[in-house]
Structure 1
Amino acid sequence: MADQFLFADEAADAEPKESCPPFHILVVDDDEEIHVITKMALSDFNLDKRPLEFHSAYSAKEAKEILATRDDFALMLLDVVMESDHAGLEVARWTREELKNKLIRIVLRTGQPGQAPEEEVIAKFDIDDYKEKTELTYRKLMTLMYSSLRAFRDLQAIEHYKSGLERIIKASAEIFSAQSLNQLSQGILEQLVALLTRTQTAAYCKLNPEGYTASADTDQPLQIIAATGEYKQRVGELLKNNDAQRIVNELRERKETVSYEIHNDTYYGLYKTSQSQYYLLYIRGIGELSDTDKHLLTLFMNNTAIGFEHALLLNQSR
């Protein structure tokens, strides 16, 4: 009895723990029992000291309405068969393609094995896992939560890094100097490549070095001024790439200040300055680019080119 009172006193005197924001979980199923069982089984679950907060939808229509109101769901446990045999698949497709939510982890659950081939569903609908309800024991459900939420956490962190990088790039035009220009552009290029590509191969080049004309119908030397991967030791040399020369010539005929082309998983981005100088951003193994990725690359080209032009004017005035 004394031990029990001692334990109660210590708990009462303890300082309240600082609460961490929860992971938001959306359970989509037309069976009320599934909602109850899922919440009971995961009531004490937490990751990184973050608990779970559950939201319920009982139809595909209701799920879409909830998903459209907020974009911070970490995981959706999604029943396949609801209003129709493939209602859940439609929600998954809509979430990825129309809502363009790439962060939320989507786990399909079905009570009717064989309703849709697992391999085909995972490949076609960009989901993260496919489970039969009968195989989701408590232990497997816990494992699923850890793997899914860790993936969400890491993807969310990358998105935050991109936002921070955007601030760095925006500020770079103001802090560039002749002394720090190459080092800063090199550092930013390395971060861009690490965040946006599957490889580390990139080069930032200036067209039309001194002694060459700016005619659009001739190949202009591409001088490397910042690089990563295999080009890192070749700063100051020329980028020798037939595709690059051909694509640059095509891009130079466009009217836009910034234009780009993706060819064979290689990104060619061309920036034209107010002084009719050209800068090329060459990244190999770029993969698929989101609108945010394209925006970051454009910012890099814009502000880095401004910095180099300012450095050139500074050197000429001395």
Structure 2
Amino acid sequence: MIEPVMSETWPLKAGSHTDDERQGDRTWRILVVDDDNDVHEATDFALRRVQILGRPLELIHVFSAEEALKILHMTPDIAVILLDVVMERPDSGLRLVEELRAEGYREQRIILRTGYPGDAPEKQVIRDYEIDDYWSKDELTRTRLVTSLTTAIRTVDYVRALKGTRAGLEMVIEGTQYLYQNKSIDIFAEGVLTQLAAILRVSPEGGVCALAELSDQEDNLVVLSGIGRFASYVGKRLTDVEDIDHDLISAGDNNGTAPVISGNKILFSHRSDTGRRLLIYFVHDQVLSPENIVLVEVFATNLAICFDNLALISELAELAFVDQRAGLPNQNAFDRELMHMTRNGSDAAIVAMVAIEDAAQFCVAFGVNYFDRVITAVYDRLRSVVGDNVLVARVGEYTLGLVDSTGKVEVSAIEEIFDETFEVVGSPVVVRGTIGIVRGNPQGRRASDIQRAARLTLLKQKQRAPGGTAEFEPSMADEVQSALQMVGKLREAVRDRKLTFVFQPKICLKTGAVIGSEVLCRWIDEGQPVSPGRFIPVAERAGLSGEITLQCLEAVTKLNAMLRQQGLQPLRAAINLAANDIDNIDFINRLIEACEDHQLGPENVGFEITETQRFTNDGEATACVQKLARQGFEIWLDDFGTGYSSLNHLDILPVRGIKIDKSFISGLSAGGYASHVAATAARIAQTLGIEAVAEGIETTDQQEICKDLGIQFAQGFLYSPGLPPEKFVEWVKSHDNDGRSDNG
């Protein structure tokens, strides 16, 4: 029987070289997570004596998600996780995937294996979870397993190689751009030493990078960078450095551009055509293999070329700091400018993120090349507004970043670039942008913290009101963390059907009769009610709104049954549809099928859509709404007047009527309501031949004003709050046609 393996020796600190660590360097560690012992034994048998990329596999076996998490905390160099979906819980594997990725485990490749594919449909899992492969256990033959592992391990090997060299390489490239400027030569020197250690995968005991101006004398070489035991010599002459092999340094000067390797010492000395001399002296603690010696020679050759050829340096900088598709400064350029800004400590600086709205639609409709022209047009106009001293860079597929070290850029100027159409491929294009702003250096944070704050601000604004602008507030970080915690709890509540539904009656203002209701979702978490204003947006962003809508249908079915038992006719219930669900024809088809399964026809349910969803004549969202209307379901436009393009929506969509938002109703007064927004909305409805519902009526004065305005229907606390099904039935039984209940 396979026993769970719980390592107590990993991870090891950098620089130590125990037998376990050397073994880890020679093997690929595979974590097998499954509660079935037979699966462990079969996997062990199938992978015995298998080598991938010339290295054997080391299997670590655990039987639960909890054990797997402990192993990963102790053994971060695991390459691949073979993960069962169903263990302690039906979704233990999926939960573990979410937790691992949330904790920052990005390097590990995850291959899901399930014996119950129906519990975790492949399409849904691949869409919703960050995994690398997915197999049913009965399909995963030995050949397929080895193939899948080989693909995953190739990726891990590539990622590790990138991680091992990226830090040094970025400093080398950055430093070489300004090689002869004192403010960055130290960065270049530090990068050379870091890169050399990373390439050879050795722990340096010490190293120096020294430079001499127009001289071949060793006593003129000045230490620009030092690591290990030489770190304290930066700024001193090389002749003052103790415990260094000066004979080797003298011999290296006669060796051309070839490196000199003597035991555990590496020397590179190169004199440029202008007479400058660059010297690298590096001491490590391992014996170099023939392959490593070749790497040193290649590195030395490249370093000589970089030192000599400023044209090549410029070309390398272009590749590193320019987006190759659009020719704009890229994320590397943004990071560099942000780092310079934080080093200078400017409290007046401004960092902004500008996201192009509807970018994905541009790409799908017209192609990626077209969108590159769109973002270039936005970049050009932004540059013309902020000036040459402000960096604008492409920091994402659909996002531009801005770094203004002076803080003189006006935020309003950034906003105004979207007021006019853009010229793209000879045609005018309307583009909207969402903007996140960070001013100064909040709490003295690092460049990465400021960038994270800007992206967080942008995200919050996109969630709240796309197309607007927001400035960073420290509370935003807490809000995001709270939202992430809420997603997990809400997902459980939806899965376990812990959400409840209440019904708020709709009243005919002319007769006082109850003509229907609106279904409202409620959630009690740990004994406390959670505001729908908090959890409904979270549910929509987490992709849970569709399931909540389908559970609404079940609640309507139960209410209708209760009404019939009391000798009452069922009432049409209005269900709110989330914007992302309206845009999904697959969900609309599921919704129609669910209505048929519950025997809910157009006389039983209708649907309300909000103005936050954009609609066009040929858009998918419009087609979805039209399909519901063709089935006979009433469509109402909710929160009328609070979104955008209201009149355009009324022209495009087959709506039965509008719901005038309660923010307009609450402001009605007997003195001058004729010019009020609510009055205008009522006249629009009358002109178009559609009906109107007044939301949030709380007083009899508001009720009478709405009657005078010709509004047909109303709902609000004057009549009743949202009621559970059984109380709603009692309320309907006791309601009279004056708009009040007998007991109220």
Does 2:32 align with 1:34?
A: no
Unaligned 5+ segments in structure 1 are 1-17, 207-215, 217-238, 253-257, 279-292, 298-318
Q: What is the CA distance between 1:266 and its match in structure 2?
A: 4.1
Structure 1 runs of 4+ off > 6 angstroms? 178-182, 258-261
Q: Distance in 2 between matches of 1:94 and 1:294?
A: 23
CA distance in 2, matches of 1:64, 1:95: 8
Match of residue 176, structure 1, among 171, 176, 180:
180
Q: 1:277 to 1:166 in 2, by over 3 A?
A: farther
Contact preservation (8 Å) 1:110, 1:133: yes
- Tell me: CA distance 1:118–1:164, structure 2 relative to 1, closer, same or farther (3 Å): same
Residues 256-267 of structure 1: pairs in structure 2 closer than 5 A: 262=395, 265-267=398-400
Secondary structure of 1:134's aligned partner: coil
How far 1:244 sits from its partner (Å)? 3.3
Q: TM-score, normalised by structure 1?
A: 0.58
Alignment partner of 1:111 out of 111, 115, 127: 115
- Are 1:79 and 1:108, in contact at CA under 8 Å, matched by a contact in 2? yes
CA-CA distance at 1:53 after TM superposition: 0.9
1:245/1:104 CA distance change after superposition, 3 Å: farther
On the 8 A contact 1:75/1:105 being kept in 2, the answer is yes
Q: Which structure ranks higher in relative contact order (CA pairs < 8 Å, sequence separation ≥ 6)? A: 1
Compare 259-268 and 69-78 and name the one that shifted more: 259-268
The whole-number CA distance in structure 2 between the counterparts of 1:131 and 1:294 is: 38
Q: Is the 8 A contact 2:122 2:134 kept in 1?
A: yes
Superposition deviation, residue 142 in structure 1? 1.5
Task: Name the SS of the counterpart of 2:32 in structure 1.
Answer: strand
Contact kept, 8 Å, 1:110 with 1:132, in 2: the verdict is yes
Q: Which of 100, 105, 111 pairs up with 1:101? A: 105
Q: How many Å apart are 1:168 and its aligned residue?
A: 1.3
- Match in the other structure for 1:270: 403
* Kept in 2: contact 1:92–1:127 (CA 8 A): yes
Pairing 1:157-168 to 2, within 5 Å after superposition? 157-168=161-172
Mapped partners of 2:58, 2:174: distance in 1: 36
Structure 2: stretches of 5+ with no match in the other structure:
1-21, 183-307, 338-347, 349-377, 410-446, 452-744
**3-state SS in 2 of match to 1:123:** helix
Describe how 1:46-195 pairs up with structure 2 within 5 A.
Answer: 46-98=51-103, 100-169=104-173, 171-172=175-176, 175-177=179-181, 183-192=312-321
Q: Distance in 2 between matches of 1:140 and 1:159?
A: 29
Residue by residue over 1:47-92, the C-alpha shift from the partner in whole angstroms, topping out at 9 and shown as x without a partner, is: 2211111111110111111112232111000000111000000111
Q: Secondary structure, in 3 states, of the residue corresponding to 1:77?
A: strand
* 1:263 Cα deviation from its structure 2 partner: 7.1
What percentage of aligned pairs have identical amino acids?
Answer: 31
Q: Is the 8 A contact 1:106 1:128 kept in 2?
A: yes
Report the secondary structure of 1:67's partner residue. helix
Instruction: Give how far 1:34 is off.
Output: 1.1
Q: Name 1:244's counterpart in structure 2.
A: 383
Would the aligned equivalents of 2:173 and 2:316 in 1 still touch at CA under 8 Å?
no
By how many angstroms is 1:180 displaced?
6.6
* Distance verdict in 2 for CA 1:245–1:93, change over 3 Å: farther
Structure with bigger gyration radius:
2
Task: Tell me, yes or no, if the aligned pair for 1:247 and 1:268 is still in contact at 8 Å.
Answer: no
Q: Deviations over 1:108-152 (max 9, x none)?
A: 110112111111111211101111111111111121111111122
Q: Say which SS state the counterpart of residue 103 (structure 1) adopts.
A: coil
Distance, in Å, in 2 between the alignment partners of 1:140 and 1:149 is 14
Task: Give aligned pairs, total.
Answer: 223
Aligned CA distance change for structure 1 residues 260 and 294 (closer, same or farther; 3 Å) = farther
Alignment partner of 1:73: what SS?
A: coil
8 Å Cα contact 1:244-1:268 kept in structure 2:
no
When normalised by structure 2's length, the TM-score is 0.27
Q: Which residue in the other structure is 1:24 paired with?
A: 29
Code of the aligned partner of 1:76? I
Q: Secondary structure at the match of 1:27?
A: strand
